[in-house]
Amino acid sequence: MSGGEPDTKTGRKGIAVAALLLTASILALLRPAPVFAQETELRGEVSESAILADQQRKARQLRAQGSQDQTAPATQAAEDQTLANPYQPESPGAVADDDQTATDSIFDQPEATGDPFADNQTAAKPRRPSTARQRATDANAKSNAKAADKKKAKKKRGQTTDSTTKTAATGDQADTAAADEDGANRRAVTIDSVDRQKLDPGAERTGSIDGQKIKPEDDPFAAPGIKLGTFVFRPTLEQGFTATSNADGSSGGRPAVLSETALRFSATSDWRENSAVIDGYGIFRNTLSGQKINDAQGRIEGQLNVDLDHELRAIAKLGYETVPESASSPDAIAGVTSQPLRQTVDGSLGVEKDVVKMRYTLTGAVRHDFYGDAKLSDGTVLSQKDRDSTLYSATLRTGYQVSPAITPFAEVEAGRRIYDLRLDSNGFERSSTRLGARAGLELDMHDKLSGEFSVGWLREAIDDDRLPANAGPYVNADLKWSPERGTIIGLTGRTTIESTTAANESGDVLYSSRLTGERQIRANLTANSSLGLDWRDYTGSDGHDLILSAEAGLTWWLNRYAGLTTRVRTEKLTSNLPGRDYVANSVYLGLKVQR
């Protein structure tokens, strides 16, 4: 009986172990486990930010496990020290429980030669690190290496992230962190979660587009123009009333109140290479009270600039003008109901060529003047066909460009004036030959100073030997100077040979000059003024005329399209010939409309 007692104890112990294993298996089967779909978060729409947050969470877990692996050797050493010094009971004969050793397992194989319950049991050897933990450490190391490589590649490419993307990423990270800290469901971070974020009250507000500064216009009251095909058309209509002390500007002129209508326009092309400009005006005057005046005058002129090959440029001009004969003209006819019209058709064609710094220009011009019949106060009609003539001329200019702003030049002119009738009503041959030479200077300092002026000599020899040639100094100028912004000062000068059909007279040389000024006092208020000086020198006699004039005006723009304008003018002619002196003063007030 005593020999079988150990076997009986061993059998009982085996039964107890089997029962314990069965209980543990049943408990493991009964423990609730999460659904795989929920654990992997496959339900619902998952955004990229949620995926990124899950990857970051797993990376943090791997780092935490790595830190635990680093402390594992120290913990293992402490455990080894504990096993090296096993528990010693106080009471003799006491035996250590199987549960005192943390590393013992019921699945460990018993010693071959010893009893597992013996007092002299040897300490168990420390176990090797967990395989799962080692895999986690390796994965963490690989993840860190990949992140470092991505940072280096991004730095080399120099990529920049758009501010909107940064804001979205920051919002996603904030949602992820909040979900991790609060334990909320990460599936709530969807694609449109950024749009549902609350605005940061401390964020800096961006100003609206309307609040940005806009560059002011150089001339806010300039005509905007009308687009007509490839041209920009800018018309201006002016209607007003003139009170004058001398209606027709003659020695016998009388006061009158006139209705004056002026129409002006300009059309400019918007072509890419070549350019064209068309300008015109028309003035109509009618008497409201006082001396009877009913006349009209106008002009239209076009210019075309074309760039040709081989540094050649062509400039073509064509114009038409109609004006009544001035009552102060030397050829004015006395005793007429109205002065006859003088019509002019003129055109020119010029070719320019630059060779290094040399500039050559050859221009041909044609001008034809024809006069209407004069209606006398007694009802008869006086023909003026003997005054009709055509002037042909050619001009050659040579210039040297000292600098882009200064180009001195010299030019010669040759021409021929041919009358429609070889003999006039008094039996004189009025056709003539024209010769001229002059030197001048071209200036191009952009808006500061631009234009040209020249001086020389001009002569027209009449075919009839009984008449002396019309000749004299030649002066020509067309300059614009802007001493400061909003101020423009202009100087113009012209020399004209005026022919005549009066008996035993050749004509005269007229020198005309104008000094003009324009000042923009305010954006909607402009002042202008002018001074005029004319000198007429009669050929073959000591007769001369001196004409002085002055004018000042204001234009006040009510808006971009309409404005009020006014001006005062005085003109005085003094002559050493009888019956030519006069003085004319006038005041004008009108409304100007532009588009």
CATH entry, 226-594, from 2.40.170, 3.30.1540, 2.60.40, 1.10.287: 2.40.170
The CA distance from 61 to 529, in Å, is 90
Interval 26-50 mean pLDDT:
53
The type of residue at 352 is E
Higher pLDDT, 41 or 69: 69
Q: Is the pLDDT of residue 211 over 60?
A: no
* Single-letter residue type at 577: L
pLDDT digits (tens, 9 = 90+) for 266-290: 999 988 889 999 999 999 999 999 9
Higher-pLDDT residue of 464, 139: 464
Q: What's the length of the chain?
A: 595
Distance CA 398, CA 531 (A): 33
Q: Which long-range contacts (CB under 8 A, 24 or more apart) does 251-255 make?
A: 251/579, 251/580, 251/581, 251/582, 253/291, 253/327, 253/582, 253/584, 254/290, 254/291, 255/290, 255/291
Average predicted confidence (pLDDT) for the chain? 78
pLDDT band per the 50, 70, 90 thresholds, residue 300: very high
d(CA 47, CA 193): 9
| Cα 60 to Cα 63: distance, rounded to the nearest angstrom | 5
Computed on alpha carbons and rounded to an integer, the radius of gyration of the chain in Å comes to 55
> How much is the pLDDT for 109?
46
Q: Which two tokens stand for residue 125?
A: 């050897």
Give 46-102 pLDDT, tens digit per residue: 566 667 777 777 777 777 666 555 555 545 544 444 444 455 554 454 444 444 444
Residue 200 binned pLDDT confidence (cut-offs 50, 70, 90): low
- pLDDT interval class at 163 (50, 70, 90): very low
Write 409-412 long-range contacts (CB < 8 A, 24+): 409/359, 409/439, 409/440, 409/441, 409/442, 409/454, 410/437, 410/438, 410/439, 410/440, 411/361, 411/437, 411/438, 411/439, 411/440, 411/454, 412/436, 412/437
Q: Where in the chain is the domain with CATH 2.40.170?
A: 226-594
Per-residue pLDDT band at 503 (split at 50, 70, 90): confident
Strand partners, 346: 319, 367
Q: Are the beta carbons of 571 and 542 closer than 8 angstroms? A: no
How far apart (Å, rounded) are the C-alpha atoms in residues 42 and 565? 82
550 or 210, which is more confident?
Answer: 550
Residue among 260, 248, 259 at smallest CA distance from 288? 259
359 close to 407: Cβ distance less than 8 angstroms = yes
- pLDDT recorded at residue 332: 82
